[in-house]
Amino acid sequence: MREGNDSTVKEFILLGFSGSHELQIFLFILFFFMYILTITGNVAIIALVRARRQLHTPMYFFLCNLSFLEIWYTSACIPKTLAILVSKSHQTITFTGCITQMYIVFSLGCTEYFLLAVMAYDRYLAICHPLHYHTIMSKMLSVQMALGSWICGFAAISVPAFLITQLSFCDSNVINHFFCDILPWIVLSCTDTYTLEMAWFILAGIVIMGSCVITLISYVYIITTILKIASAEGRQRAFSTCSSHLTVVIIWYGSTIFLHITPAKHQSLELTKTVTLLNTIVTPLLNPFIYTLRNTEVQEAFRATFRFTTMLQISRKDRG
């Protein structure tokens, strides 16, 4: 692809997943249905929140932002992965396309950290300061915090994305991954990647650990407050409002801390691909179900919407 350090890579080859043709077909079918369920589930959450007035609160406003983010997060890499599984002719990706995909995926990932921290702070205010909640968490503040999460998420990845454009690739243009992750760029580069690795390590530490600390502190206060509630019913009701968010936090942070806090070149690329699947497919798929199955307000809203839809269909049949 290139001759010497002064040449420019025009395209990369994404290897995707190794295995037999039958395995590739199985993975395609599995990922395709998971992708459809992810899009459908997150769109349903957004539509439900918009349709039910009782869900027009900061908590569900942030949830809509999270669902909207998950739609684009999984769409940034899974369609290309599906194409690779179908045919090897789709394995190539241009340098511009690769850097763009990396930037979008990781920007959305950073945004998710910030949104989860904001949602934890929202639950802290609601449970620990219920009398002042609506005064503090106004509609304007909710919009500002959500917008700030999106802006900071996309701004944070600008530095490593720029540093990647400065790398030289001498021997190979084959990326052993199903999307343009940062680690394969570091592995392929024939120039010194110390600056990029340090920038990525520091950025990941600030974003991941910073948002994690905010989330942990919020939940320490939340759990302490819940334990002080006298009645078991009151404790159950208070915990039900944040249990869904806490479940998502545990799944998301568990996988991403492994991926982005440990030194890059010491990780196995095959192990990295497996863990990355948790972030790009599994977590976006689970989020709608977690918020549906573990949240009584969402369950009640779904039942009310279903009853209304059923009655509307019966009414139309009667008129017909």
Q: Are 17 and 273 in contact (CB under 8 A)?
A: yes
* Cα gap 246→243, rounded to integer Å: 5
The pLDDT value recorded for residue 277 is 82
User: Where does residue 4 fall: left (phi above 0), alpha (psi -120 to 50 degrees), or beta otherwise?
Assistant: left
Query: What type of residue sits at position 158?
Result: S
Please report the pLDDT score of residue 1 as a whole number: 41
Structure tokens at 296: 């009584």
According to DSSP, the β-strands at 92-94 and 174-175 are unpaired
Distance between terminal CA atoms of the chain?
A: 67
Q: Per DSSP, what are the bridge partners of residue 175?
A: 14
What is the chain's Cα-based Rg?
A: 22
Q: Spell out the domains of the chain, with CATH numbers in brackets.
A: 11-319 (1.20.1070.10)
Rounded CA gap, 320 and 307, in Å? 20
Res 205: pLDDT: 85
Q: Which of 181, 182, 186 is nearest to 168 (CA)?
A: 186
CA–CA distance, 75 with 305 (Å, rounded to integer) = 28
Which residue ranges of the chain lie beneath pLDDT 50? 1-7, 263-266
Tokens (6 digits) for 69: 């983010």
| pTM of the complete model | 0.85
The predicted pLDDT at position 18 comes to: 79
CA distance 34 to 220: 34
CA proximity to 30, closest of 252, 285, 247:
285
Three-state SS at 57: coil
Contact between 173 and 188 under an 8 Å Cβ cutoff? The reply is yes
**Predicted local confidence at residue 255, as pLDDT:** 74
Q: Tell me how far apart the alpha carbons of residues 269 and 285 are, in angstroms, rounded to a whole number.
A: 23
